[in-house]
């Protein structure tokens, strides 16, 4: 797989993981349930927590991959911020 295609795949996974974590995190907050209209619904909190936790681990893994794929940019930017020539 070309590096650019890999970057697109990684960013897509990061975006999906972010939204899954966001939605499951909002559902896990008990005080938000009445605002969301979920008061009369029994939610599978064990499964929601499982999805939330594992998606968080996947997000961390893909963030590290993303950082590795963009290591050159990180290096140039840090050198520029520190006043060294890139």
- Six token digits for residue 39: 């008061």
Task: Give tens-digit pLDDT for 32-48.
Answer: 677 766 666 666 888 98
Q: How far apart are the first and last CA of the chain?
A: 28
Mean pLDDT of 58-83: 94
Single pTM value for the model: 0.78
Domain membership of residue 86 (yes or no) is no
Tell me which of 21 and 40 has the higher pLDDT: 21
Domain membership of residue 49 (yes or no) is yes
Chain CA centroid to CA 46, Å: 20
Give the total number of structural domains in the chain. Answer: 1
Which residues in 37-48 are b (16+ Cβ under 10 Å) and which e?
Answer: eeeeeeeeeeee
Domain membership of residue 55 (yes or no) is yes
8-12, 17-21, 59-63, 73-77: segment of lowest average pLDDT = 73-77
* Percent of the chain predicted with pLDDT > 70: 83
């Amino acid at each position: 797989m070309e590096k650019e295609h890999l970057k697109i795949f990684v960013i897509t996974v990061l975006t999906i993981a972010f939204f899954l974590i966001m939605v499951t995190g909002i559902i896990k907050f008990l005080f938000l349930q009445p605002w969301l209209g979920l008061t009369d619904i029994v939610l599978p909190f064990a499964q929601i927590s499982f999805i939330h936790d594992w998606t968080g681990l996947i997000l961390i893994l893909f963030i590290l991959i993303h950082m590795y794929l963009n290591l050159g940019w990180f290096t140039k930017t840090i050198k520029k911020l520190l006043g060294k020539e890139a």
